[in-house]
Structure 1
Amino acid sequence: MTGGTLIVLAKEPVPGRVKTRLQSEFTAVEAAALARASLVDTLSTVRRAPAARRVVVLEGDPGSWLPTGFEVVGQRGGGLDERLAGAFEDVYDGTPMLLVGMDTPQLRAELLGFRWAGYDAVLGLTEDGGYWCLGLLKPDRRALLGVPMSTDHTGRDQLRRLLALGLRVRMLPTLRDMDTPRDAAWLAAEFPGLRVSRLHRRLQHAAHPGALFEQALGGTARVVATGIDGRAVPSLSELDRWSAPADEVDRLALSRCEGPVLDIGCGPGRIVTALAERGIAALGVDVSPRAVSLTTSRGAAALHRPVQDPLPGEGRWGSVLLMDGNIGIGGAPGVLLRRCAELVRPDGLVLVEVDPDDELDEAAPIVLHSTTGRRSTPLPWARVGTHALIRHAHHTNLHPIEDWRTPHRAFLTLRRTS
């Protein structure tokens, strides 16, 4: 390619618009950061490869990720086949052109340094059935328009089209695209020196806890909680129960509620749904957008908001619930109890699911672990038993009125008094 043009077909790495398939495990911001790193790796390789011109055909706006030595041309056309055809037409200067994407950051410069002698086109396939590069001596819309894109047979179809036009095609080695979390993990393991690989390793061990909780609720992976020391936290390792309908113990707890009811940390909404089915006005609040979505999809009411923020009906709730160990939210049970006292009416109830160990009073961060290999940053949390919770309640105007339990779960009901 010494006398030709190298083209990089790229999309500005904006969260929510790139690498959406990575979002089954990563947040939109993290997926965009991986896309940006992949693009930088690709541009770095193209910059080292022999060529007369280097052009980025871009959807979006260039940013600090764009190195010197590249021209920028905007993409045009609707489907990918039209945008590819337009890229070749807009860049053509009478010399051969080789176009690559931004999804194979492991690309080596020597792969791009071949000689065109005896060939009219170049094609490099990917393991998922697509292709990572396409080269043409000159633009020809017939070579691209109508070829099905983003399928598991796009590469084969593209090769058939080139051959049907009578073109002599040089095949380059098959590479693996970075499209899915599994692809990203493979890339990081096989090519650890890449920028995208280094970022992947950082993200694997510093995930936002909310991202892993969203992943668990979405069913893409199982998530467990441990202390910093690696010991499991039982009350946070029962997502299957959280996602199931309210069970007998849940219903027993709800029979003590006085409406309307506020469920703090409602998760996927089993409690709020059960209350609604009983005809009791109830609202769930959660910091997880997916949890709120799952709750509302069940026909119950939920709000995406942390408990510390202003909430509807402050001082007028009949009951406030802290089920499933949610007394641990924030790592300060006394602070959370005082907030609950602000939310209930003057004679309202606060029902807390506590640890079965009456004396447990532990404020220690937890770490979430995903079966996909991700680990969260520490999350402030607390675990308290009945006796410890009563001690915390001494500093509020909440007073215990009932301590009850089942073989595996324990609860404490408190009433606000003047």
Structure 2
Amino acid sequence: MNTLIVIAKEPRPGKVKTRLQSEFTPKEAAALARASLSDTLAAVSATPAHRYVVALDGDTGPWLPDHFTVVAQRGDGLDERLAGAFEDAYDGTPMLLVGMDTPQLTPALLSTDWEGHDAVLGLTEDGGYWCLGLRTPDRWALVGVPMSTDHTGRDQLNRLRALGYKVKLLPSLRDMDTPVDAAVIAAAYPELRVSRLHKRLQTSAHPALLFERALDGVEVVATGTDGRMVPSLSEVDRWSAPADEADRLALSRCEGPVLDIGCGPGRIVTALAEQGIAALGVDISEQAVRLTTKRGAPALLRPVEAALPGEGRWGSVLLMDGNIGIGGQPESLLRRCAELIRPDGIVLVEVDPDDDLDDTHPIILRTTTGRRSHPLPWARLGTRAVLRHAHAAGLHPTEDWRTNHRAFLTFRR
């Protein structure tokens, strides 16, 4: 009978599964890590063994079964922590150590017969390894092996063989490190805890999270609730670039100070600042505000409905890049803009080039790995619909122009 060791980190937000945070929040990534750890511990518990050990970085929690002995991880790097785990768990029986990132492992894999071998090694598809078995502790088998590379598994195998070990190789498994990994494992093993949680999370993302992922370069598309494509995020690259000729033509109409509603990564506020025009961006995305301030332009994390600085004193309020759609109630949004400008101020709205477009259906943001947001109230409007809503909001059109396949309207009270 072997001693089974699980080397694990406490599933604490921000401390585990950071690569999952390209699509999941730190709290969601930690929840997936906890589910993966629970699946791993369940498979280990179902495997007959002499002793069960968790080599833990952090504190225990309700996820830990009572029959596991806990030893604290020690050492500076993963290679030293692995060596320490074998030393601290050893009680005279062969030891098989697994990580917490392959929840699809099974008792059949863990109870493999390695009689006649000195060590056992299970490689992962990303170049690492998911298990290592040793008959006795041996620091020289581990310390100095490069960890967390795409050749760690190969290097570990070479080290064992260089020391004269006869190694039995187990089937390769896939680590759950990235959103793609999580999606593949969830699809292949739907019965796992982590798979069931992943399925729930796939349909419950906050739209702001996926918008921020788009600003980070993750491919995100928008569809209607019926699945039809909506080109709402097709110009993220343009939003992140410096203001172009069409932007500058629109900004030439602005009277300072300027409030940019839904400022995104800040190209408009930055362009205004470069012209010496006082401007402020507001957005509900933390990443958008960070990107704007990183450019040296001021931005505020706040929804347009909340109290804003200088209400009733702005020379211009901007709704660029289709931001007339914010909230899905264009008349209410335009009324709010009218409240924000001074009596002689302007509201500048970028509208859809299709004059007849009048779509106020919600949209859903989706990633290429299948994660999707809950419905986001939105509107896509051409000139005719915006003119109708503006009239109801007490705004009078003063200018209508087009350039580079983009269309704009200017209003005053």
TM over 0.5: yes
1:80 to 78, 81, 85: 78
Q: Give the match's secondary structure for 2:137.
A: coil
2:139 to 138, 141, 145: 141
In structure 2, distance between residues paired with 1:158 and 1:343: 64
Q: How many residues align?
A: 413
1:130 to 119, 128, 131: 128
What letter is aligned with 1:48? A
Report the counterpart of residue 376 of structure 2 in structure 1.
379
Report the counterpart of residue 363 of structure 2 in structure 1.
366
- Could you tell me whether the CA contact under 8 Å between 1:188 and 1:198 is conserved in 2? yes
- Could you tell me whether the CA contact under 8 Å between 2:353 and 2:405 is conserved in 1? yes
CA drift of 1:132 comes to 0.8
Question: Alpha carbons of 1:182 and 1:361: their partners in 2 closer, same or farther (altered >3 Å)?
Answer: closer
In structure 2, distance between residues paired with 1:128 and 1:33: 22
Q: Give the match's secondary structure for 1:410.
A: strand
In structure 2, distance between residues paired with 1:236 and 1:159: 46
CA drift of 1:236 comes to 4.6
1:41 to 23, 39, 42: 39
* Identity over aligned pairs, percent: 77
Report the counterpart of residue 16 of structure 2 in structure 1.
18
CA drift of 1:44 comes to 1.0
1:292 to 270, 289, 294: 289
Q: Give the match's secondary structure for 1:105.
A: coil
In structure 1, distance between residues paired with 2:233 and 2:123: 45
1:5 to 3, 6, 11: 3
In structure 2, distance between residues paired with 1:115 and 1:361: 67
In structure 2, distance between residues paired with 1:407 and 1:133: 58
What letter is aligned with 1:302? A
Q: Give the match's secondary structure for 1:42.
A: helix
CA drift of 1:257 comes to 0.5
2:108 to 110, 113, 125: 110
In structure 2, distance between residues paired with 1:314 and 1:56: 58
The gaps in structure 1 that reach 5 residues or longer are: none
CA drift of 1:397 comes to 5.2
The gaps in structure 2 that reach 5 residues or longer are: none
For 1:216-267, what per-residue CA distance to the aligned partner results, in whole angstroms no more than 9, with x for missing partners?
Answer: 222232x232222233334553323323332222212111101111111111
Name which of structure 1's ranges 277-286 and 118-127 shifts more when overlaid on structure 2: 118-127
Q: Give the match's secondary structure for 1:293.
A: helix
Question: Alpha carbons of 1:341 and 1:67: their partners in 2 closer, same or farther (altered >3 Å)?
Answer: farther
Report the counterpart of residue 93 of structure 2 in structure 1.
95
Are 1:237 and 2:234 counterparts? yes
Name which of structure 1's ranges 181-190 and 319-328 shifts more when overlaid on structure 2: 181-190
1:56 to 51, 54, 57: 54
CA drift of 1:402 comes to 2.8
CA drift of 1:203 comes to 2.9
For 1:325-380, what per-residue CA distance to the aligned partner results, in whole angstroms no more than 9, with x for missing partners?
Answer: 11111112232223323332333222112234555544321112333333221101
CA drift of 1:11 comes to 0.9
Aligned-residue RMSD, C-alpha: 2.3
- Could you tell me whether the CA contact under 8 Å between 2:246 and 2:404 is conserved in 1? no
In structure 1, distance between residues paired with 2:403 and 2:158: 68
Report the counterpart of residue 403 of structure 1 in structure 2.
400
Question: Alpha carbons of 1:216 and 1:160: their partners in 2 closer, same or farther (altered >3 Å)?
Answer: same
Report the counterpart of residue 188 of structure 1 in structure 2.
186
In structure 1, distance between residues paired with 2:368 and 2:181: 16
In structure 2, distance between residues paired with 1:237 and 1:157: 43
- Could you tell me whether the CA contact under 8 Å between 1:330 and 1:381 is conserved in 2? yes
- Could you tell me whether the CA contact under 8 Å between 1:50 and 1:112 is conserved in 2? no
Q: Give the match's secondary structure for 1:206.
A: coil
Are 1:265 and 2:250 counterparts? no
CA drift of 1:47 comes to 0.8
Name which of structure 1's ranges 280-289 and 306-315 shifts more when overlaid on structure 2: 306-315
Are 1:211 and 2:196 counterparts? no
Name which of structure 1's ranges 44-53 and 231-240 shifts more when overlaid on structure 2: 231-240
Question: Alpha carbons of 1:226 and 1:182: their partners in 2 closer, same or farther (altered >3 Å)?
Answer: closer
Report the counterpart of residue 280 of structure 2 in structure 1.
283
In structure 1, distance between residues paired with 2:232 and 2:157: 55
In structure 2, distance between residues paired with 1:224 and 1:100: 38
For 1:256-310, what per-residue CA distance to the aligned partner results, in whole angstroms no more than 9, with x for missing partners?
Answer: 1011111111112221222122221222122222222332333322233322333
CA drift of 1:403 comes to 3.3
Question: Alpha carbons of 1:348 and 1:59: their partners in 2 closer, same or farther (altered >3 Å)?
Answer: same
- Could you tell me whether the CA contact under 8 Å between 2:119 and 2:132 is conserved in 1? yes
In structure 2, distance between residues paired with 1:403 and 1:306: 27
What letter is aligned with 1:238? E
In structure 2, distance between residues paired with 1:156 and 1:403: 65
For 1:109-135, what per-residue CA distance to the aligned partner results, in whole angstroms no more than 9, with x for missing partners?
Answer: 011113453333222222222111112
CA drift of 1:318 comes to 1.6
In structure 1, distance between residues paired with 2:207 and 2:378: 12
For 1:3-22, what per-residue CA distance to the aligned partner results, in whole angstroms no more than 9, with x for missing partners?
Answer: x3111111122222211122
1:349 to 331, 337, 346: 346
CA drift of 1:395 comes to 5.2
